[in-house]
């Protein structure tokens, strides 16, 4: 992705992220997590991200975020083998829910919207293409394992069953 989910939230605006989160929590038939109190406080304090010069990152005068080196992160974050899946798989799960609920008309539309709307890595072909290439069964099993370890927000959406058997080969 051109930027990670934390930088994307800062770029779009933390106030927008809070509203979108609330909207998803109300409208999706899933265990969408509550907005953390620390994020609500940041928004209330006017730390909205790039547009205010402070948010999850501090910004240089040229508008670029100042990022910490990975060495500055806690060992629990650096050594968390689940961290990438904990960031990416809920996004895939939400896309599958949108397909199942008819919010999005097709897998191709969902993939295109995520590539052009959120910056999902184009070389991965979009979240559904990525899931098929990685293996639908493997993604659903991984979400279940994350739900067992980290809570119900990782519970695989029922829509994964509709995608079962639709994995593609490495060339696909």
Task: Indicate the pLDDT class of residue 172, thresholds 50, 70 and 90.
Answer: very low
Mark whether 106 and 124 lie in a shared domain. yes
Mark whether 92 and 56 lie in a shared domain. no
First and final CA of the chain: distance in angstroms?
A: 20
Q: Is residue 154 part of a domain?
A: yes
- What's the CATH code of the domain at 124? 1.10.1040.50
SS3 98: helix
Domain that holds residue 95: 77-163
SS3 72: helix
Q: Is residue 168 part of a domain?
A: no
**Does the model's pTM come out above 0.75?**
no
Q: What token pair was written down for 38?
A: 């620390």
Q: Is residue 36 part of a domain?
A: yes
Mark whether 86 and 143 lie in a shared domain. yes
Q: Tens digit of pLDDT for each residue in 5-62?
A: 788 889 999 999 999 888 888 887 667 778 889 999 999 999 999 999 889 898 888 8
Would you state the pLDDT for residue 121?
85
Mark whether 51 and 33 lie in a shared domain. yes
Mark whether 49 and 107 lie in a shared domain. no
SS3 15: helix
Q: Cα 117 from chain centroid?
A: 13
Q: Is residue 25 part of a domain?
A: yes
- What's the CATH code of the domain at 46? 1.10.1040.10
Mean pLDDT of 89-117: 93
Instruction: Evaluate whether 49 touches 11 at the Cβ level (below 8 Å).
Output: yes
How many distinct structural domains can be found in the chain? 2
Q: Tens digit of pLDDT for each residue in 106-150?
A: 999 999 999 998 888 888 999 999 999 999 999 999 999 999 999
Mean pLDDT of 145-169: 84
């Amino acid at each position: 992705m051109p930027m990670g989910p934390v930088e994307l939230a800062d770029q779009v605006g933390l106030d927008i992220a809070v509203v979108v989160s609330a909207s998803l929590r109300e409208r999706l038939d899933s265990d969408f997590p509550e907005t953390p109190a620390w994020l609500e406080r940041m928004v209330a304090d006017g730390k909205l991200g790039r547009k205010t010069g402070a948010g999850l990152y501090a910004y240089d005068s040229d508008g670029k975020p100042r990022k910490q080196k990975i060495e500055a992160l806690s060992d629990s974050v650096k050594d968390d083998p689940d961290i990438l899946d904990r960031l990416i798989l809920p996004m895939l799960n939400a896309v599958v829910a949108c397909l199942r609920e008819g919010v999005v008309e097709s897998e191709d539309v969902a993939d295109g919207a995520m590539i052009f709307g959120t910056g999902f890595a184009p070389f991965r072909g979009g979240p559904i293409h990525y899931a098929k290439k990685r293996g639908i069964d493997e993604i659903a099993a991984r979400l279940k394992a994350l739900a067992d370890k980290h809570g119900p927000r990782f519970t695989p959406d029922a829509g994964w069953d509709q995608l079962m058997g639709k994995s593609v080969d490495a060339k696909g």
